[in-house]
Amino acid sequence: MADAVIRSRKPATSTRTPAGGAPTAPHSAAEASEPRIDVDAVTDMLLGTWADTRREARAMIKDPAFWRIDGLSVEDHRERVMGQLQLLVDSGASARAYPVEYGGANNNGANIAGFEELVLADPSLQIKAGVQWGLFGAAIQQLGTKPHHDKWLRDVAELKLPGAFAMTETGHGSDVAAIGTTATYDPDTEEFVIHTPFRGAWKDYLGNAAVHGRAATVFAQLITGGVNYGVHCFFVPIRDEAGNFLPGVGGEDDGVKGGLNGIDNGRLHFDQVRVPRVNLLNRYGDVAADGSYSSEIASPGRRFFTMLGALVQGRISLDGAATTASALAVYIATTYANQRRQFDSGSGTPEVVLLDYGKHQRRLLPRIATAYAQAFAHDEFLKKFDGVFSGRTDTPEEREDLETLAAALKPLSTWNALDTIQDCREACGGSGFLAENRLVGLHSDLDVYATFEGDNNILLQLVGKRLLGDFAKQFKGADAAKLARYAVGQTAGKVFHGAGLRRLGQTVADFGSTARSVELGLREDQQHELLADRVQQMVSDIATRMRPAAKMSPEDAAAVFNENQAELIEAARAHGELLQWEAFTDALHKVGDDGTLQVLTWVRDLFGLALIEKHLAWYLIHGRLSAQRAGAVSRYIDRLCLRLRPHAQDLVDAWGFEPEHVRAPIASGAEQARQDEAAAYFAELKASGKAPVSEKTLHKKSKK
């Protein structure tokens, strides 16, 4: 995993030793003598396969020119981010994915890794860079052919040709196949006529469209010879050098957004705009001068998904950036929680550090574990992507797996980012609401990650359908007898697991159980069994309920699907969670250092058990856990939190963020300084003998 890793010096963060002594605050000698993680080694693990590129990107964005400034006007923010894109070009960080002949490095994995880190500087920068090079440029690279590359790719890489990626329409977001824009071939002039037939077919929410874009890769229904060959992509110039719309092109500004206001999102529409025939990006489908259509891929459906699949990198970079943003949020909240004191725990005792509260541990520690799981899963994901896009493992099966992986992981990590950032914001109280402490800005900016590049629920539904498809393959060509045996097996299985024997047995066995025995029964193998079994059972149950739909009218079949939609999405989520858990466990198995292995095993256990706790009702209903065992899951999580509490700072420090990446005053040591000053004031007051006595003391004295 870490073959490309350069071992770096420990980052000199001022927050590393918050209490002016031990980096963490163990509560007893027993805890203090526990194993510790090797922070630098864990940093290497978290940075993953392209750690060198990530470190390069992080070094670059230590320059304040890359940082988000809160409170800028929309216009100023847009111009600032456009300027930052030029800085990326100047730093050679814009085109790692492109072929060497166009100024690139032909390194797909490194390219994504480097872009993801930009989220630490300003998510607007990450996304605007993604629009320019990962969407507009990638459409030309992935959907176009050599003449297109020769003509535009270097200018795209150098930002001489800023462009928009015009896929989404006001009327159609995730349902790209149904877009309304048409590209009708005119054999007389050998041109395509790009046209917007109605308001709902305006291109919408496009970065670079409101101000900076000079051209757009426009997705439209390709019509030639009276036949609609489905959605294809066209290179369409939209503005002249002075920034004015070209004839027939119009548009408007999307205005203020919930976040990412450094990007000039806008709308575009086309009134019979003519582009040369060769502006069709023709890698997967072409139109000859005479108007005849040809494609290597005969099936319109498969061709469509192949084209979309060529653009999967957007989802990958969102998964990675969401993970990094989650990690930053937990870093800030954990560092603060290790310094901030509030309420004494009883009369006369000193005020307690936030992270010593049971509830606070329960809020933050599972968040740390989830960010870890996401990082390990993301690295596997990125390696798979790099394999396919480098051509090393470019098979239809690998592409399909990559799509499914993207559709499973992006929803989980982007939703988790929002939940994590929000919880961290609340865990920091009023300070968390100040823009200077980063959390509110991260939430606002990452909000839209949950619905762009494919709405999260729709992506999970795709995963669910794939799972159902794989399940059905098991029975392909099966005879009636086999299906009947299967059906009986299902029922038996349900009765066995769901109602009686197995659970009853467990009840008896558990009756005298101690915490220890429960713990022994929830180790790696059992976690895996519980998580994997749930996916399998859910898919099997849904498939059983949906089987009759095969013989129904489309409307009735749709109704049956609809009844199962929410649960299918849940099954897909369970699949994604399993993938994350497995990636974490794979990463664990490569750890050599005993202390690191021990602590990270607890972190993995916390991740796994938090998943099991979240779905506890399912495990109980389906007889996978007895009531006693289920009740013990939460107690086990409590114990894991207590065990991990002294390691919390190490675990967040291992992300390797430096002060220039964090920038939140509350995680800078300022809170510790304030606590120290207040404590010194009270100590001095006490020593001076001038401290006022409390009224309570007075009452007690007068009673005596």
- Binding to its own copies (CB under 8 A): which residues in 408-437? 418, 422, 425-426, 429-430, 432-436
Task: Please give the residues from 172 up to 201 whose contact with its own copies meets the rule CB under 8 A.
Answer: 172-175, 178, 180, 197-201
Quote the CA–CA distance of 199 and 55 in Å, as a whole number: 46
State the minimum distance, in angstroms, from the CB of residue 692 to its own copies.
4
Residue choice 223, 268, 375, 578 for contact with its own copies (CB under 8 A): 223
8 DSSP 8-state letter: P
Q: Is residue 73 part of the contact set for its own copies (CB under 8 A)?
A: yes
Q: Are 414 and 449 in contact (CB under 8 A)?
A: yes
Size of the site for its own copies (CB under 8 A): 115
Residues 325-364, mask of contacts with its own copies (x by CB under 8 A): -----------------xxxxxxxx-x----xxxx--x--
Q: Which is nearer to its own copies, 7 or 700 (CB)?
A: 700
Task: Please give the residues from 264 up to 303 whose contact with its own copies meets the rule CB under 8 A.
Answer: 300
Among 664, 95, 46, 98, which Cα is nearest to 339's?
664
State the minimum distance, in angstroms, from the CB of residue 75 to its own copies.
9
Quote the CA–CA distance of 369 and 364 in Å, as a whole number: 9
Q: Which residues face 268 on adjacent strands?
A: 203, 251
State the minimum distance, in angstroms, from the CB of residue 104 to its own copies.
30
Residues 485-504, mask of contacts with its own copies (x by CB under 8 A): -------------xxx--x-
In a 3-state reduction of DSSP, which class is residue 678?
Answer: helix
Among 40, 50, 282, 120, which Cα is nearest to 661's?
120
Q: Is residue 314 part of the contact set for its own copies (CB under 8 A)?
A: no
Per DSSP, helices labelled H in 5-100 are 29-32, 39-47, 51-60, 74-90
Q: Which is nearer to its own copies, 488 or 621 (CB)?
A: 621
Q: Is residue 558 part of the contact set for its own copies (CB under 8 A)?
A: yes
Q: Which residues contact 264 (CB under 8 A, 6 or more apart)?
A: 78, 207, 208, 209, 210, 211, 212, 253
Q: Is residue 698 part of the contact set for its own copies (CB under 8 A)?
A: yes
Q: Which is nearer to its own copies, 369 or 450 (CB)?
A: 450
Task: Please give the residues from 111 up to 140 whose contact with its own copies meets the rule CB under 8 A.
Answer: none
Q: Is residue 70 part of the contact set for its own copies (CB under 8 A)?
A: yes
State the minimum distance, in angstroms, from the CB of residue 496 to its own copies.
12
Q: Is residue 564 part of the contact set for its own copies (CB under 8 A)?
A: yes
Q: Which is nearer to its own copies, 1 or 434 (CB)?
A: 434
Q: Which is nearer to its own copies, 288 or 698 (CB)?
A: 698
Q: Which is nearer to its own copies, 473 or 699 (CB)?
A: 699
Q: Are 404 and 462 in contact (CB under 8 A)?
A: yes
Identity of the amino acid at 247: P
Residue choice 563, 594, 683, 700 for contact with its own copies (CB under 8 A): 563
Quote the CA–CA distance of 401 and 311 in Å, as a whole number: 14
Task: Please give the residues from 8 up to 37 whose contact with its own copies meets the rule CB under 8 A.
Answer: none
Among 179, 183, 169, 176, which Cα is nearest to 285's?
183
Copy the structure tokens of residue 177.
Answer: 């196949």
- In this structure, the strands spanning 215-224 and 227-237 are antiparallel
Quote the CA–CA distance of 210 and 268 in Å, as a whole number: 8
Q: Is residue 171 part of the contact set for its own copies (CB under 8 A)?
A: yes
Q: Which is nearer to its own copies, 312 or 421 (CB)?
A: 421
Q: Is residue 211 part of the contact set for its own copies (CB under 8 A)?
A: no
Burial environment of residue 639 by CB neighbours within 10 A (0 to 12, 13 to 18, 19 or more)? middle
Stretch that binds its own copies, among 146-154, 234-242, 472-480, 694-702 (CB under 8 A): 694-702
Quote the CA–CA distance of 32 and 434 in Å, as a whole number: 35
